Amino acid sequence: DAGVIQSPRHEVTEMGQEVTLRCKPISGHDYLFWYRQTMMRGLELLIYFNNNVPIDDSGMPEDRFSAKMPNASFSTLKIQPSEPRDSAVYFCASSLGLVGTQYFGPGTRLLVL
């Protein structure tokens, strides 16, 4: 049974470039979460979706960040333009139900030069 799939696993880009991170949740899960992990701030929830609809995006740091979920099996997190302070590990997680156990993907390690 496949877990949460994220791509790419590593991304190195230059400041000002657009970055797109991808996530495929576990089949049948109705909630999808995007997190960011940094040494300074730990794990932060950025946004989450229910049945493809964004429910809470209060954790999105600024307008440069956007997330979409066009269907139940795919979500993207986009940063445009990227900045060095966006360097972090970005995790996607999915769950069945609002308070169901969240299962995490392996993460995308982003480095913005």
Partner 1 sequence: GNSVTQMEGPVTLSEEAFLTINCTYTATGYPSLFWYVQYPGEGLQLLLKATKADDKGSNKGFEATYRKETTSFHLEKGSVQVSDSAVYFCALGSSNTGKLIFGQGTTLQVKP
Q: Does 5 bind partner 1 (CB under 8 A)?
A: no
Hey, how many other C-beta atoms are within 10 angstroms of the C-beta on 82? 23
Contact yes or no for 19/11 (Cβ under 8 A): yes
> Which two three-digit tokens encode residue 92?
């996607």
Give residues 66-85 in contact with partner 1 (rule: CB under 8 A). none
Work out which of 23, 67, 95, 110 binds partner 1, going by CB under 8 A: 95
Q: Does 106 bind partner 1 (CB under 8 A)?
A: yes
Work out which of 1, 2, 28, 42 binds partner 1, going by CB under 8 A: 42
